[in-house]
Amino acid sequence: MTSISHESRPGPQPIRSVARLISTEVAASLAISVMWTTVLLDALWGPNIETSNGSGANTSTVPSAVAISLFAFLATWALSRYAFGRRSKDD
């Protein structure tokens, strides 16, 4: 009786995983750059947030970039934790 040996499955190819890792990091870097460029452009040409009391005697003005930068900071933090966090050996 003869037996036919089956070819073993090739292991994971490190080139593809490195390429995927690099593309994830590049996409995250591009997204973070766009977020902060948006904050910069809003700071230069964006409107202000103006508040006043009922009679208009007390008014305050804050650039809208202050509020946008809060959200950009939170998004940058979350995105960088996801994209640049330490990978386990199983990935």
Give tens-digit pLDDT for 39-69.
Answer: 999 999 999 999 888 776 888 999 999 999 9
Looking at residue 57, its pLDDT comes to: 80
Q: Is the pLDDT of residue 8 over 90?
A: no
| pTM of this structure | 0.69
pLDDT in tens, 73-91: 999 999 999 988 866 555 5
State how far the Cα of 28 lies from the Cα of 85, in Å rounded to an integer: 12
State how far the Cα of 76 lies from the Cα of 67, in Å rounded to an integer: 14
For Cα atoms 65, 68, 69, give the angle at the middle one, nearest 5 degrees: 80
Residue 36 vs residues 30, 42, 63, 65: alpha-carbon distances, Å: 10, 10, 15, 10
Given a contact cutoff of 8 angstroms between Cβ atoms, the answer to whether 89 and 41 are in contact is no
Looking at residue 79, its pLDDT comes to: 94
